[in-house]
Chain A
């Protein structure tokens, strides 16, 4: 094993030493969940979200690196298993590598699943991509008793191979250095031969394509293979240039299929795997493996009783941890703020404008600081930990049959759980689902998932002033609502559901650095972007309230708020504000009441009902926007109306039910 003495290259913003050095472009490509984003972040110093579940890089990410005088643009491609044309990511990655021709392609490979990863490497070699193989996670492989002979692998594949443990920065320097070498010294790409009779047919077709000189960006051998596979993109492309070639390829394919009694696409996949298997056998030495902690966790999380209990425990733990840490922090901050400047609702100065400004700004600031920040930070911290640990795919595995009742399969649970953080990236993550129907159903379920803003409303309104058990009850109700409405939506959207095909990720101890960085990335956006909005928003609300602009609005909504939901009239304004950002329900209440003690303006029952309605009633503006972008405005409108309807019906019923037991 070569020593990894060299430190990882530091991303710098310094001007390059040699200003005339040509700009290089490197692409990171490989299977899902092999650590491409980890390497990308280390190279570019950016903070792409990392998670231990397949499919989180949706669109390609770009960053820059300055390495020994070279200006390098790094592209992080989404993780794929193959270059067939069945998913958008595969087409995007394939076209990027073939048509935009990056100077080097760094193929990141999970050393512990070498054979499966090499299947993709072989396709990159077929495409004549200028390759460097980054054999990542050698530490995981070693724990599994796998030793990989780098030199043998290098010889077998004909491309440079670097061993790396990206999470610790080991081997990254060598990978970049090797990629620069590949990019600057053009070499003839290797050709790996398949067995007869397939090799012979590929050759025959390849010669035909070379002779015809089709003037396509793709290498002839690759085109030949794709034609035999009957690729739905490449075949019409060639048919445009030269129909006879397609005809010949069909004949050859039919001949092969007849001789081997097997469809061609299956034959070629088998051939590639046979080669991958053979190469793996020469380079990999498997010794006895011991039962690792990861095995025990696997056993626990997929056990028929413990598995479900851990899944529930993880969610409940996330909430309880958020509440107790948040509550403690919130108490401390409130005390500090009171010490500096006690919030006084009766405070009046001679100048009404100054009062509004002072109360508004201070109210927004203290509401953000006492009710939001203390809860958001521990929440994101634990969510990043959960995302990174690898438990998500196990929960998806265990919950598959339950998700089928909603017309989805287990994988949909991953975006839904991410929806607990924020609906917007969660809806984007719905891309891991296979069909539009499933993406739509999952997105619909996500709009009810209690995102961190809704969690804040629950904790800030109900948990703090009514009792944590009520906040948790609302959570349980929310999950029941997701399930019930998911079932209705399944019936409403016609179509069939596909089955679950998902790679289960390995358990690992999340790296503290990654978790902290992730938490900071998410919290940062709240502090930088949202906090100023709080301050301004809170002041405007106070001003509008003082100037009596809001009362007509409140009165117009009174039948709904006062009669149907039993809320004070000004709650209507809060709910409207909440469509901008859900936290505004909370901030608005603080601004209007001019105190952080919400019991001044609400009874406990009203707080519970308001929180329930606020949780369900309408996705915030950003969520509606992303729904519109992903599914069209019609779908976004329908989902929004469904949300409002559900919230009003459930809120009204809940109010009447609670009124039976508790006098309002």
Chain B
């Protein structure tokens, strides 16, 4: 098995599990143009290496080791293709102040959905910029997530997932920002300043680059009555 193929496979699982809990075999074969037997072989190898957890019914997920590997691959790839794709990306380059694409961008996935390499790129450009040592993620990818930084003052929401370096994740957990916790945005400082949130009875100030990586579920708003 070529190294390139296994790497591509890890990357694809990484990309797919951003949007779903599991990367199904069907989707991986689609993305990589592989036969099912070929894929099974690769997946077996990856399971043995401890890169993925494979479940025949659901599909594959990355282990911690696999996640690190994926970050390594994508970051190398990132540096290389950043240079090559410079012109293509210029247009939809994520602005620093703009929240990055949440892990579950429900309605409009990045423009490059048919190209897995680009998809990884656009998803992680910001993360890699901010966390060159790689990052981890806690919590679940539920539907309709928005970044905490996009919430308006006075809104309540439930934390779904957080991305960041282990150290930052641990600190946020210690302060009570565990997945599933209800929070309320109390105030947003002007000029790209921090967000003040109420969580478990305490008031926390979170800088923009922290808040951008906290993804929340907002309570369903009642749809406006259909008037013609």
B-contacting residues of A (Cβ < 8 Å)? Answer: 81-82, 84, 86, 112-116, 119, 254, 257-258, 261-263, 265-266, 269-270, 273, 277, 302, 304, 393, 396-398, 400-402, 404, 409-410, 496, 498-504
Across-interface contacts of A262 in B (CB, < 8 A): 138-140, 179
Across-interface contacts of B21 in A (CB, < 8 A): 261
Known contacts A84-B174, A501-B210; A263/B64 CB under 8 A: yes
| Residue from B173, B175, B190, B194 within 8 A of A266 (CB atoms) | B173
Is there an interface contact between B174 and A113, defined as CB atoms closer than 8 Å?
no
The minimal Cβ–Cβ distance linking A470 to chain B, given in whole angstroms, is 31
Across-interface contacts of A397 in B (CB, < 8 A): 189, 193-194, 196, 205
Across-interface contacts of A502 in B (CB, < 8 A): 204-205
Across-interface contacts of A119 in B (CB, < 8 A): 174, 176
Is there an interface contact between A503 and B194, defined as CB atoms closer than 8 Å?
no
Known contacts A112-B201, A304-B190, A401-B189; A254/B63 CB under 8 A: yes
| Residue from A113, A116, A257, A504 within 8 A of B205 (CB atoms) | A504
Across-interface contacts of A401 in B (CB, < 8 A): 189-194, 208
Is there an interface contact between A410 and B171, defined as CB atoms closer than 8 Å?
no
Judged by a CB distance under 8 angstroms, whether B187 is at the interface is yes
| Residue from B136, B166, B172 within 8 A of A501 (CB atoms) | B172
Is there an interface contact between B174 and A500, defined as CB atoms closer than 8 Å?
no
Is there an interface contact between B192 and A269, defined as CB atoms closer than 8 Å?
no
**How far, in angstroms, from A515 to B190 measured CA to CA in the complex?**
32
Is there an interface contact between B208 and A499, defined as CB atoms closer than 8 Å?
yes
The minimal Cβ–Cβ distance linking A312 to chain B, given in whole angstroms, is 15
Is there an interface contact between A81 and B207, defined as CB atoms closer than 8 Å?
no
12 further A-B contacts with Cβ under 8 Å, apart from A115-B200, A261-B61, A400-B205, are A81-B171, A263-B64, A265-B170, A269-B173, A270-B173, A304-B189, A404-B207, A496-B130, A500-B210, A501-B175, A502-B204, A504-B196
Interface size of B as a range: 35 or more
Judged by a CB distance under 8 angstroms, whether B115 is at the interface is no
Judged by a CB distance under 8 angstroms, whether B109 is at the interface is no
Across-interface contacts of A496 in B (CB, < 8 A): 130, 132
**How far, in angstroms, from A86 to B205 measured CA to CA in the complex?**
20
Across-interface contacts of B171 in A (CB, < 8 A): 81, 86, 501
Across-interface contacts of B196 in A (CB, < 8 A): 302, 397, 504
Across-interface contacts of A503 in B (CB, < 8 A): 175, 202-205
Is there an interface contact between A269 and B205, defined as CB atoms closer than 8 Å?
no
Known contacts A270-B180, A302-B196, A400-B205; A258/B168 CB under 8 A: no
Q: Which residue of A lies closest to B172 (CB)?
A: A501
Is there an interface contact between B178 and A500, defined as CB atoms closer than 8 Å?
no
Judged by a CB distance under 8 angstroms, whether B105 is at the interface is no
Judged by a CB distance under 8 angstroms, whether B167 is at the interface is yes
Across-interface contacts of B203 in A (CB, < 8 A): 503-504
Known contacts A82-B174, A263-B136; A501/B168 CB under 8 A: yes
Across-interface contacts of A409 in B (CB, < 8 A): 207
Is there an interface contact between A116 and B168, defined as CB atoms closer than 8 Å?
no
**How far, in angstroms, from A119 to B201 measured CA to CA in the complex?**
13
Is there an interface contact between B202 and A500, defined as CB atoms closer than 8 Å?
no
Q: Which residue of B lies closest to A498 (CB)?
A: B168
**How far, in angstroms, from A254 to B64 measured CA to CA in the complex?**
9
Across-interface contacts of B130 in A (CB, < 8 A): 496
Q: Which residue of A lies closest to B22 (CB)?
A: A261
Across-interface contacts of B53 in A (CB, < 8 A): 258
Judged by a CB distance under 8 angstroms, whether B46 is at the interface is no
CB contact list, B141-183 vs A, under 8 A: 166-176, 178-181
Is there an interface contact between B168 and A499, defined as CB atoms closer than 8 Å?
yes
| Residue from A113, A498, A500 within 8 A of B200 (CB atoms) | A113
Q: Which residue of A lies closest to B201 (CB)?
A: A113
Is there an interface contact between A116 and B169, defined as CB atoms closer than 8 Å?
no
Is there an interface contact between B200 and A273, defined as CB atoms closer than 8 Å?
yes
Across-interface contacts of A302 in B (CB, < 8 A): 187, 189, 196
**How far, in angstroms, from A597 to B105 measured CA to CA in the complex?**
72
| Residue from A114, A254, A398, A400 within 8 A of B207 (CB atoms) | A400
**How far, in angstroms, from A155 to B147 measured CA to CA in the complex?**
40
Judged by a CB distance under 8 angstroms, whether B19 is at the interface is no
**How far, in angstroms, from A270 to B210 measured CA to CA in the complex?**
19
Q: Which residue of B lies closest to A398 (CB)?
A: B189
Across-interface contacts of A402 in B (CB, < 8 A): 191
**How far, in angstroms, from A265 to B180 measured CA to CA in the complex?**
15
The minimal Cβ–Cβ distance linking A230 to chain B, given in whole angstroms, is 9
